[in-house]
Amino acid sequence: MTALSPREILDRLVAFPSVSRDTNLPLVDWVQGYLASQGIASTRVPSPCGTKAHLYAQVGPAVDGGIILSGHSDVVPVDGQAWTTDPWTVVERDGRLYGRGCCDMKGFDALAIAALVEGARRPLNRPLQLALSYDEEVGCMAVADLVHAMVGALPKAAAVIVGEPSMMKVVTGHKGGVGFRVHAQGYEVHSSLLHTGVSAIMESARLIQWANERNAENAAKAPNPLAADFVPPFTTLHVGMIEGGTAHNITARDCRFVLEMRVVPGEDPEAWAAAALAEGARITEGMQRIHPGTQLQMDRFFRVPPLTPEENGAAEALARRLTGDNGNHVVSYGTEGGQFQVLGGYSTVICGPGDIAQAHQPDEWLSVEQFQAGWAFMQGVLETLEA
């Protein structure tokens, strides 16, 4: 089979509606089959439920010191968005490539797959490795299995490039994240007998107020050196969804909300998680003194370690040399980069084509210029591995 161009690969990837809530196996089937047609073996890491899979592959010699290109296969839904084109077909117009995932981040995936195929035909002295994950859009947790699998099966890479859209700027740090789904279970009485009931809403407000107080404390203190470049330069706690109650004159039996924390490098997300759980337990004790069986149930649904800027990091040096970017760039959203750095011990940066402002939007697009810049970057990666 003739090798496909990066654009032809992008067309095929976007055609798979690999929304996080659904399977990504058709996309993985195609990628694995295409790589096999080019003489490249790849390995799946199935999800526990069997409906999704990661995929990794390597070309070049089986020695340490290679480069990992990391991308995710899942995209966010298009439900309720006012698209003017078919989101599952790449449409080129006015120098832009429109389609769900073109920017976030099948554009990078297409470039990485094309680079892997080209690398199989070039005299590499160190390997190029591909890491293609699932469920990045729902918490960046699943990639942990992929990182562990690659560490156990492949030579240790010197650098990981996570291709999230950064306009080909070199992003050296991002915040970590922890999220809890909270279910407050109260005890219903008529509101005139408030002292004998337990309002799930009012008890939830205690935890929400605790989050407000932590925000105020964090904003007031001097940022640690690793956090100074972030906006804002401190850990934030946020409740963006809440629902509950039956009627205005009944203490609420149920209240549900989501608490998320975005944690700056230099602070431990697990310590913040433990603090939230401890506060939830303290509130539960007060609830149960009024009526047993009431509680704040807190279920963690995502955890993302921060990407910490490295001192003399190999990935940063590589990306800066290939892009010419010497600016300081950090972001407050999370990526899979923290998992590669923390779990795998890899030197890691974020550098990919496209503007994050286009991610998740109707008529999502990636400029042709950025796509071409991404391909030039891949050529630099291959030349580096030949040296």
Helix (H, G, I), strand (E, B) or coil at 170: coil
> Residue 337 to residues 61, 122, 164, 191, 375: CA-CA distances in angstroms?
25, 28, 9, 49, 21
Nearest residue to 54 via CA among 153, 124, 120: 153
Cα separation, 256 vs 181, whole angstroms: 7
Helix (H, G, I), strand (E, B) or coil at 45: strand
The residue ranges of DSSP E strands in 208-359, in sequence order, are 236-244, 254-263, 295-304, 330-331, 348-350
Cα separation, 332 vs 177, whole angstroms: 10
The residue ranges of DSSP E strands in 225-357, in sequence order, are 236-244, 254-263, 295-304, 330-331, 348-350
Cα separation, 121 vs 40, whole angstroms: 11
Q: Pick the catalytic residue: 74, 145, 267, 364? A: 74
What does the block give as tokens for 262?
A: 């975005």
- Tell me how crowded residue 169 is: count the other CB atoms within 10 A of its CB: 19
Does residue 118 have an active-site annotation?
Answer: no
Q: Pick the catalytic residue: 135, 136, 188, 316? A: 136
Does residue 136 have an active-site annotation?
Answer: yes
Cα separation, 224 vs 180, whole angstroms: 25
Helix (H, G, I), strand (E, B) or coil at 174: strand
Sheet arrangement for strand 365-367:
91-93, 96-98, 365-367
CA atoms within 13 A on the CB side of 352: 31
Tell me the sheet residues that pair with 92.
97
Judge contact between 162 and 173, C-beta under 8 A.
no
Cα separation, 196 vs 184, whole angstroms: 17
Residue in the block written with tokens 């629902």? 243
Provide the annotated active-site residues: 74, 136
